[in-house]
Structure 1
Amino acid sequence: MSSQTPAAVRDYLARMRTALSDLPDAEVEEIVDDVRPHLAEIGAELGENARLDQLVERLGAPESYAAELRAAGDYPAPDAPERRAAGRSLPRLVVWSFAFALVGTAAAGYLIALELTDDHLLALFVLAPVIIASGAYVLRHGLRPVESLPEIRWARSLASADDRGVVGYLRSLVPAWWLLCALALVVLAVLLLVKSITLLVLPVFLVVGVAMLWLGPKSTKDRKLLWISLPVSAFALGALAGMAGHLVEAVDRADLYTDRYATAGYVDNGLLYRGQPVENVYLFDAEGKPLTDVYLYDQDGRPILLPRYGCDPVGGGQVPQGEDNRFPRPYLDHGALDDQGNRNGYNGYRPYCREVDEVPFTVAVPKPPAGK
């Protein structure tokens, strides 16, 4: 508002704002903008020394004038403070339930992409009813109950104040984000499919990703669609972070594995014999008797270090136990393969692992020719 606006006009508009304070800020501004030129015209007629009571005499009390404009614009009548607080309970529950569901959806997307398993897909089925119920409430009652909440009005005012800053920059990236969102869903579905996860994931993620290319941009104009696009956006954001974390972990594991043997003088990812990795070494004397507790070194006196593995007494699987140059190591028996290609376990669910100290094969040490 211009500094030349008479004080009486500014006071009148301030009281109108107070009377309309139960409405969303955007709607209050729309009403005030409509009446501001008319008030400014009357203020100009009354002169710089115009008084508030003169405006009241011409237009009526600001509260009455605001009520007339509210009725003309088909805005809801104001409630008493206690009724207003009670009426906000359900919208507040809807908003915060939806917000927590968004956080949970992003976390599920992160864990699914990080571990590339379907163990966390169940979380999406748990969160889906919350998201669906919140969207149904908005579709039935509209956005007004939600957007009239103080916290939502505060968040929108912050976004409006920073419209040319970070918020404005993020809004300019919206078209690219929905393309990235669809791509993330498709890539994640393919990765899960490679890991032998249920085949249904691929078409579902593909359909949702393509739908977001159409629905996402529309949600910037129709805010009701945000209750559909935001959960997908949160899941895609978590999935992108999870895939990045999975890639970093894979690179770290590869570097650690390479560096471990490079420091011992061995490259090519460990000890190789004719292109094949060596995991254990068995030694025999001239009579074919196996030797134990033998330590191996190369021609420069460097220990030939290989990783040692053992059986996990709790989980039943194979676990690393460091590295050393003492041979032979216990042979790890993981059980025989069944008809389906699976290894037999203790009860069909727990991995089978047993450490065997005996040599799993027999040898015939060649005898040197007679006289040598």
Structure 2
Amino acid sequence: MNATTASDQTAPTRPIAETGPGAEAGLGAAADRAAAFAGAVRAQLADLPAEERDDLVDGLEADLVERLADGGELGDPIAYAEELRLAAGLPPRGEAAGARPRRTFRERADAVEERLSDWAEATAARKGAWDFIRSLRPVWWVLRGLGVALAVLFFTGFLVNVSGLPYPRSMTVAVLLGLVTTVLSVQWGRGKWLPKRWMVWLRRVGDVIAVFALVFLLGSIANLGAVSNDLASQPQGEPGLTSNAEQRISNIYAYDCSGKLLDGVRLFDQDGRPLTTTTGGPWGDGQQVDGGWDEQKQQSIEYGVNRLADPGAWNVFPLEEKRIDLQGNEVPGDADPIAAAPRDAVAPLSANCTAPGTTSDQAGPAAAPTPAPSATPTP
């Protein structure tokens, strides 16, 4: 009989690890499953940079093999990849750098506005200036409404040029339109009257239109000042005719020897060049041109080629004249150059004026009447 010690009788029995071909086959299957799972996880992380992806899956296969050896399950590789992203503080798949969905223009504009607001409020000085600018928003709302009204009047041809500045044909219509657009602009600025989301875009379009309209108006004022300075420094270079080098001549009326007003008179200078008071408008020959402003009658004046002349013949007088009152209405009767003449007739130059188209030789002395033969009495 073999002898045994006390220690041999009391020591617990340990399980003997399984060895042999079956155990090796089980480990190989677990490694294959772990490799396939890790490959699927890598595929879900393919949108990440290689270095960042390798950091996330480093040692993953060994951990998976150990889990399988302990009898655990691997689960879904897609969900596992999302858990790795969340643990690393990365956005979900599809929103990573290089694969983010394109933001709309509104989202970009809101982001820019938010960054500007954050920058403006970063310091006390900036915040004070920004608060002051925001307090001026009601002023911009009014200017925006007036700018949109000005743009509407301009593109509808409702403005005329008066001394270099845009002037409405009808002051009543212009005032009503300005009130409507201003009230609408103020309400939109307050966030009112915007039941539809697309109306917010309409408000921003109004901002752009107003900026261009106000720039146009300021440009007209600046151009008026530049032209005035140029004319003051070089009065001799002003086109057209002037009286005593001061008052500009806009129309000419000619009278014949007997004092009657003539129509269709062609004028030329000493060199045979057409004598004109204007060279026509910017839209081509024969079009109406701005004739300035009649301060006494409070009317704007437009001139056109004489009705008897060919298009572009601006040396035929008197020119057609059209006047427009403050309400934008054409003054009746003034289009007729004869009716618009300052004088219907003047005193004759001589009592012996010849008729138009004849000469004094052709007229000659008045022929004495030939007496009719007397009647012969019938016997």
Q: If the TM-score is normalised by the length of the shorter chain, which range does it land in?
A: 0.3 to 0.5
* Greater RCO (CA < 8 Å, at least 6 residues apart): 1
Give the TM-score, by structure 2 length: 0.35
Report the structure number with the largest CA radius of gyration. Answer: 2
Decide which structure has greater helix share. 1
